Amino acid sequence: MEKECLACGKKPLDKNTIGINKKLIGKSIKTFYCMGCLADYLGCSVEDLIEKIEEFKEEGCTLFE
Ligand SMILES: [Zn+2]
């Protein structure tokens, strides 16, 4: 099923976006934010999120492409 942003309805959300939602909000969540809305929600910038994704990838996290 196609995932869309809970806040703005943007879709589809890519695997990295879904992965960072799960990492930062919780694995069991069923609704997801796009990068912009997640940054707003967490009070950080999209660039911070992209850096986080890169960090998790380097750790070999399977939630990311
Ligand atoms: Zn959004």
Tens of pLDDT, residue by residue over 6-61, are: 999 999 999 999 999 999 999 999 999 999 999 999 999 999 999 999 999 999 99
The Å distance, Cα 34 to ligand 1 centre, comes to 4
User: Cα(60)–Cα(41) distance, rounded to whole angstroms?
Assistant: 26
Supply the pTM of this predicted model. 0.91
**Residue 17 CA, ligand 1 centroid: distance in Å:** 11
With bands split at pLDDT 50, 70 and 90, how would you rate the model's confidence at 2?
confident
Q: Which letter does DSSP use for residue 44 in this model?
A: S
CA of 57 to the centre of ligand 1 (A): 23
Distance CA 1, CA 55 (A): 27
Angstrom distances, CA of residue 32 to CA of 3, 58, 59: 7, 23, 23
Confidence of residue 65 (pLDDT cuts 50, 70, 90): confident
- Per the structure block, which two tokens stand in for 9? 């309805």
Query: 37 CA distance to ligand 1 centroid (A)?
Result: 4
Residue 1 pLDDT > 90: no
Q: For 48, list phi and psi in degrees, rounded to 5.
A: -60, -40
